[in-house]
């Protein structure tokens, strides 16, 4: 299920990015088309009209999730458009900036593609560099096809510079936000016990480090009595089912407390802002809840019990010492007959 959700998030990001970019590209080229038409640059009007038509039809590619094909065609269209506008209007109009923007977009596309192969991006960067230099030298030794008025030259340069920086910023923001969401997911998963879906011991370490005020906190370490016998007699699948049920009951009973599976059949709970007797009563209630729970194992009703050790936090106590102190209390409970909470 997690993989399915990951893929949905992945494709949602691509779809939203492609759709937004296509809308921007379309309106940008409509603006160019209007300027070229007003200035009677009819050769560029024809080229830009074809580009506008391409972006209008590209919504079908995005709708059908042909993202890689869309990105590939966009890149080629930009190569043609930038080359035509730079040769006909001159280098100072700033259309060459888009070749720099394409380098960023190519790596963005590679990251979100199925194969995540950067070789294609390196080819695009190399091709962009070659076209950039060719356009520079061609325009350096040849006059533009159209004589561009200064106001239009400055206007186009400003629009193109702003748009390219906006493209780069936009794609990088999308990439960083996506990467941060993956990073958070990985961190969450690394701090979650796969079987019980509660926190694991690594989350306990984080919790201990993040909690500056540990006054009136009680750490409880408990495990399921004779759990090895359950696994030996009924199998590990049944044992896993019991662990999940115990975690569920505990999570519900201690919903305002930190809870983690410490390892095997051991659980740790940290109760907050409670006096010792209050914390004890809460864990005693949990013990009774689990003891009164019946498990049907191979058509037989079986009772499960827990033994718990509880320790109130002492000033400057390290987490290891805190857990060890609770473990000693739990050991006393095991020796005294199990199914008990020792403080």
What are 214-249's pLDDT values in tens digits? 888 999 999 999 999 998 988 999 999 999 999 999
Tell me, what's the pLDDT at 7? 64
3-state helix/strand/coil string of the chain: CHHHHHHHHHHHHHHHHHHHHHHHHHHHHHHHHHHHHHCCCHHHHHHHHHHHHHHHHHHHHHHCCCHHHHHHHHHHHHHHHHHHHHHHHCHHHCCCHHHHHHHHHHHHHHHHCCCCCCHHHHHHHHHHHHHHHHHHHHHHHCCCCCCCCHHHHHHHHHHHHHHHHHHHHHHHHHHHHHHHHHHHHHHHHHCECCCCCCEEHHHHHHHHHHCCCCCCCEEEEEEECCHHHHHHHHCHHHHHHHHHHHHHHHHHHCCCCEEEEEECCEEEEEECCCCHHHHHHHHHHHHHHHHCCEEEECCEEEECCEEEEEEECCCCCCHHHHHHHHHHHHHHHHHCCCCCEEC
From first to last of its 343 residues, the chain has per-residue pLDDT tens of 455 566 677 778 888 999 999 999 999 999 999 999 999 999 999 999 999 999 999 999 999 988 888 988 999 999 999 999 999 999 999 999 999 999 988 888 888 877 667 888 899 899 999 999 999 999 999 999 999 999 999 999 999 999 999 999 999 999 899 889 888 888 888 899 999 999 999 999 999 999 888 888 999 999 999 999 998 988 999 999 999 999 999 999 998 899 999 999 999 999 998 888 999 999 999 999 999 998 887 778 889 999 999 999 998 899 999 999 999 999 999 999 999 999 9
- Which residue ranges make up each domain of the chain? 2-190, 199-342
**pTM (two decimals):** 0.71
Domain 199-342 adopts which CATH fold?
Alpha-Beta Plaits (3.30.70)
What are 182-209's pLDDT values in tens digits? 888 888 888 999 999 999 999 999 999 9
Tell me, what's the pLDDT at 216? 86
What are 122-153's pLDDT values in tens digits? 998 999 999 999 999 999 999 999 999 999 99
């Amino acid at each position: 299920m997690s993989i399915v959700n990951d893929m949905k998030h992945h494709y949602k990001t691509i779809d939203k990015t492609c759709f937004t970019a296509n809308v921007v590209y379309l309106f940008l080229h409509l603006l160019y088309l209007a300027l070229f038409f007003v200035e009677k640059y009819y050769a560029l009007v024809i080229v830009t009209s074809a580009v506008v038509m391409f972006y209008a039809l590209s919504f079908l590619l995005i709708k059908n999730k042909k993202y890689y094909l869309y990105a590939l065609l966009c890149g080629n269209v930009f190569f043609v458009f930038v080359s035509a506008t730079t040769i006909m209007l001159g280098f100072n109009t700033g259309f060459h900036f888009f070749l720099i923007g394409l380098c960023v977009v190519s790596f963005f596309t590679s990251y979100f593609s199925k194969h995540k192969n950067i070789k294609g991006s390196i080819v695009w960067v190399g091709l962009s560099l070659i076209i950039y230099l060719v356009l520079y030298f061609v325009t350096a030794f040849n006059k533009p096809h159209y004589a561009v008025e200064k106001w239009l030259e400055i206007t186009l340069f400003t629009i193109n510079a702003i748009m390219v920086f906006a493209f780069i910023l936009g794609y990088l923001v999308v990439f960083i936000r996506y990467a941060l969401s993956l990073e958070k997911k990985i961190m969450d998963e690394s701090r979650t016990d796969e079987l019980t879906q509660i926190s694991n011991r690594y989350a306990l370490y984080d919790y201990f480090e993040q909690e500056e005020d540990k006054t009136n906190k009680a750490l409880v370490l408990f495990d399921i009595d004779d759990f090895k016998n359950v696994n030996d007699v009924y199998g590990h699948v049944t044992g896993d089912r019991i662990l999940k049920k115990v975690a569920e009951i505990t999570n519900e009973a201690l919903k305002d407390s930190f809870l983690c599976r410490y390892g095997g059949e051991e659980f740790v709970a940290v109760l907050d802002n409670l006096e010792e007797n209050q914390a004890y009563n809460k864990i005693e209630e949990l013990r009774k809840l689990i003891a009164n729970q019946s498990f049907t194992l191979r058509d037989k009703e079986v009772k499960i019990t827990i033994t718990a050790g509880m320790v109130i936090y002492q000033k400057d106590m390290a987490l290891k010492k805190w857990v060890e102190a609770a473990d000693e209390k739990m050991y006393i409970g095991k020796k005294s007959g199990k199914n008990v909470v020792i403080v």
